[in-house]
Structure 1
Amino acid sequence: MGYMPLTPFGRTVDAVLLKHQQAAADGSSMLSTVSKWDALRELAAARKTYGLNDRDLSVLQALLSFLPGKDIEPQPGVTVVHPSNRAICERLNGMPNSTMRRHMAKLVSVGLLIRRDSPNGKRYVRRYQGDRVAYGFDLSPLAVRFAEFSDAAAAQRAEEARIKQLRETVSLMRRDLLNLALCGAADYPEAAVWDQFHDLAHLTARDLRRKLGAEDLEALQARLAAALAETKRLLEPLFAEEPGTSDARNEHHYQNSKKDSFESEQTVTAAHAVATESKDETGYAEKRSADSPVHRETPPQPPKAPAPSGPSLPLRLILAACGEIQGYAGGTIRHWGDLLRAADTVRPMMGISTAVWEETKSAMGAAEAATVVAAMLERFSDIRSPSGYLRHLSAKAVSGRFTSAPMVMALTRRGAAA
């Protein structure tokens, strides 16, 4: 090409446009050809760095399709394409002409294209004595700035990998915090922070639905790390290890002295082994020793009230029979802690006093008491005095003559018959 114009036809010129043209001219020496599709791929990965969107890259891809071959020469003026606006819009699947020109102006302002306009502003190619003279869009900046595009793409990929790792870390920390908060609410309900940690886990899950940046994810990670540290401190007895009697095996032992239990267990009552070999006429236990004929008599111990146990039915079956309690949970009931919180919410509305509620939880266990309240809510219109009825059931539970299973199964049969 004989002379390369610097200014576009019928358009104003600014310093940025001249700067991009000068950079393309200065950086063309000692550079090799670049694959046009490699340049497009690297530029697509680094599009956020240059403020480009997918429509801008679509227009650039259409222009590259007019360039013969697969390579772009770094010499300005050599790789000039001259399609008409109509031809470009056809390759863009009918994009409006005004939209295409707006995206084309964006590519020129970023410095990815250089306008080589003819004297009358038309795009065409001429040959004079073997020399090719073309007017249109110069694609040589894609080859000149290819190393810059590659570095920006590598930095963008590293940032995306870092964000992905942060999201995974935050997601795992959120899951641990939620499970530990539920565990703490079951074993140490007297602590007041479990609801706060539970809410933090759910709010974090809601935040993860959005597309967060690295700074936002780091802030979430710091909050979750502090909450997990406090949770582990409160649950330190659960993490403590006690050595077993064998050197070849370490055993984890934890005994919960509290009456509340959120696990569905059946209480196994074992008869005391002491003082069971024989009884005399007075009813006193007699223990015989093989080494000594001495007889030691011990007075009988008064019977102890059975320890409360969790419901013998699974939570899924209880919720299927007692669906009314779902409306007071503020969400889906997934664990025994959720059922207990729903029972705590609905209990004052049913007229059950705090004293009776605490007495019931001590007599039955928290999970059993919550199940009874859920079952009572299903038949609330038939119960004259819910507080007195619950006190009566607590008295039966103390003597070991009550379980919530018949109540739940009766509701299940009534629902199946309806």
Structure 2
Amino acid sequence: MHHISSTPFGRRPIDAAHLAAQSLATAAIPDQPADKWAIIRDLTAARQAFGVTDRDLAVLTALVSFHPGTDLAQSENTIVFPSNAALSARAHGMPESTLRRHLAALVRARLILRHDSPNGKRFARRHHSGEVLRAFGFDLRPLCVRVDEITQAAAEAYEKAAELRALRETIVLQLRDLAKMIDFGVAHRRNEDWTEVTTRQATALRIIRRKLDTAALSTLYREVYDLCDGVKKKIAAVETDELSGKDPQNERHIQYSNINLKDSEKNNDQEKSNRHTPCPIDNEIPNTSIEGKELKLPLYLVMEACPEIQTYGDTDITSWDDLFRRAEFIRPMMGISSDVWQGAQAAMGPLQASVVISAILQRTDKIRSPGAYLRDLTQKARQNVFSCGPMIMALLQSNHRRAA
């Protein structure tokens, strides 16, 4: 006569939850294969839904390893009966008292069942042929019976984790945009008070480092979104069009060998005197043009952003003519061919092309192929979507941060 024990050994009492869990002992095992390691992986993802911890699952993994084969549904023999010493060894030396605590948690979660022997020991009675007739230990049958529930919970956990990850990435990107907009605002809207904005930004950066749930991240997302929106409105009045260098509609022929820089010569003395004086963006920037191409950047600002080009000559660069000749001199050293250089001048104008060469030289440690980089910028210039102004402003801010 075969009897399945439904009560624990010793003084441990039974309750309604214990009796309800025993129904799993006689439940039919599904016909589909139940890969034990796939079940463990799904349980790891859905452990919160089942109220178990990673340590509980480490003990469950050790228990499952005592089951022969990989498919729990291949036979009715789903009971494993390792001794405490053997189970502790499989659990990397976990103390027996800790093992008992985690085993009790797995039983409460209805992931395993106890089948205690009359004396509380774990063992199996075998036929003389070696077949197991009766085993006392831990029954893994609930894993087979609840495999669909575990799989569904894992899928939901994966989806929730993906949403959480996407939300966190969005917040990080917003904070990056916010930091750059604040830097821009501080540099160009000095009359504004940025204390509250920077304080809220620092608070958001501290919060995002924590392990937040979906509700907390959603709240933080709304706060950062509102903060970004407010900063955008504060810097909306900045005249950003002064940094654009669009080609005129009627472009004239460019003569490369003889550059006439009348406007730059006219403003050269003023640039020398203001070389170490910050230039507010709201003030009018000298307009330097050449053969139909306009460049609305002062020379001293370019030199402050790109000081490296000064080291490639015996004299200082004091005019746009000097900058063009210096750029033409160092261009072969940077691996930029004549065709690429001529194409850049045709698309951007000689002045802007010279400024771009200076900027590329300044960032030569980060630009692996200056020729390919200049070719890409030339293509953008032909489409009227490139201006060297933002490039110079970014280098200025980078230099100021390093100096600080």
The two structures have a TM-score, normalised by structure 2, of 0.58
TM superposition shift of 1:240: 7.7
8 A Cα contact 2:24 2:141, kept in partner: no
Counterparts of 1:73 and 1:217 in 2: how far apart (Å)?
41
8 A Cα contact 1:173 1:224, kept in partner: yes
Residue 116 (structure 1) aligned with residue 134 (structure 2): no
Which residue pairs with 2:88 in the alignment? Answer: 89
The alignment partner of 2:157 has SS state of helix
Q: Give the 3 Å change call, closer, same or farther, for CA 115–238 of structure 1 in structure 2.
A: same
The alignment partner of 2:211 has SS state of coil
8 A Cα contact 2:78 2:140, kept in partner: yes
Counterparts of 1:176 and 1:268 in 2: how far apart (Å)?
30
Deviations 1:224-253 (A, max 9, x none): 1112222222222458879986499xxxxx
**What are the equivalent positions in structure 2 for 1:195-344 lying under 5 Å apart?**
195-238=195-238, 246=249, 261=279
Q: Give the 3 Å change call, closer, same or farther, for CA 40–119 of structure 1 in structure 2.
A: same
8 A Cα contact 1:115 1:137, kept in partner: yes
TM superposition shift of 1:23: 4.0
Q: Give the 3 Å change call, closer, same or farther, for CA 239–24 of structure 1 in structure 2.
A: farther
Residue 126 (structure 1) aligned with residue 125 (structure 2): yes
Counterparts of 2:154 and 2:239 in 1: how far apart (Å)?
45
TM superposition shift of 1:315: 12
Deviations 1:11-39 (A, max 9, x none): 2111112212214534x255434111111
8 A Cα contact 1:186 1:261, kept in partner: no
Letter in 2 for 1:71: D
TM superposition shift of 1:216: 1.6
The alignment partner of 1:48 has SS state of helix
Counterparts of 1:316 and 1:7 in 2: how far apart (Å)?
83
Deviations 1:257-287 (A, max 9, x none): xx96368x9x8699xxxxxxxxxxxxxxxxx
Counterparts of 1:160 and 1:247 in 2: how far apart (Å)?
56
TM superposition shift of 1:199: 2.2
The alignment partner of 1:83 has SS state of coil
8 A Cα contact 1:80 1:137, kept in partner: yes
Q: Give the 3 Å change call, closer, same or farther, for CA 315–203 of structure 1 in structure 2.
A: farther
Which residue pairs with 2:8 in the alignment? Answer: 8
TM superposition shift of 1:42: 0.7
TM superposition shift of 1:64: 1.0
TM superposition shift of 1:78: 2.5
**What are the equivalent positions in structure 2 for 1:71-86 lying under 5 Å apart?**
71-73=71-73, 78-86=77-85
Letter in 2 for 1:93: H
Unaligned 5+ segments in structure 1 are 249-258, 271-306, 318-418
CA RMSD of aligned residues (A): 3.6
Counterparts of 1:218 and 1:316 in 2: how far apart (Å)?
45
Quote the sequence identity (%). Answer: 35
Q: Give the 3 Å change call, closer, same or farther, for CA 244–200 of structure 1 in structure 2.
A: farther
Q: Give the 3 Å change call, closer, same or farther, for CA 313–87 of structure 1 in structure 2.
A: same
Q: Give the 3 Å change call, closer, same or farther, for CA 150–30 of structure 1 in structure 2.
A: closer
TM superposition shift of 1:82: 0.9
Deviations 1:362-407 (A, max 9, x none): xxxxxxxxxxxxxxxxxxxxxxxxxxxxxxxxxxxxxxxxxxxxxx
Which residue pairs with 1:345 in the alignment? Answer: none
Which residue pairs with 1:187 in the alignment? Answer: 188
Letter in 2 for 1:164: R
8 A Cα contact 2:188 2:238, kept in partner: no
Counterparts of 2:164 and 2:214 in 1: how far apart (Å)?
6
The alignment partner of 2:50 has SS state of coil
Residue 52 (structure 1) aligned with residue 52 (structure 2): yes
Equivalent pairs, count = 266
**What are the equivalent positions in structure 2 for 1:395-406 lying under 5 Å apart?**
none
Letter in 1 for 2:39: A
The alignment partner of 1:118 has SS state of coil
Counterparts of 1:25 and 1:137 in 2: how far apart (Å)?
14
Which residue pairs with 2:37 in the alignment? Answer: 37
Letter in 2 for 1:231: V
8 A Cα contact 1:127 1:133, kept in partner: yes
Q: Give the 3 Å change call, closer, same or farther, for CA 207–260 of structure 1 in structure 2.
A: same
Counterparts of 1:131 and 1:114 in 2: how far apart (Å)?
18
8 A Cα contact 2:4 2:115, kept in partner: yes
Q: Give the 3 Å change call, closer, same or farther, for CA 201–239 of structure 1 in structure 2.
A: farther
Letter in 1 for 2:229: A
The two structures have a TM-score, normalised by structure 1, of 0.56
TM superposition shift of 1:186: 2.0
8 A Cα contact 2:29 2:141, kept in partner: no
TM superposition shift of 1:191: 2.3
8 A Cα contact 1:126 1:133, kept in partner: yes
Q: Give the 3 Å change call, closer, same or farther, for CA 134–38 of structure 1 in structure 2.
A: same
Residue 163 (structure 1) aligned with residue 181 (structure 2): no
TM superposition shift of 1:201: 2.1
Which residue pairs with 2:22 in the alignment? Answer: 21
Greater share of residues in helix:
2
Deviations 1:41-87 (A, max 9, x none): 11111112222222211111111111111111388x63111111111
TM superposition shift of 1:200: 2.1
Letter in 2 for 1:13: I
Which residue pairs with 2:98 in the alignment? Answer: 99
Counterparts of 2:74 and 2:155 in 1: how far apart (Å)?
22
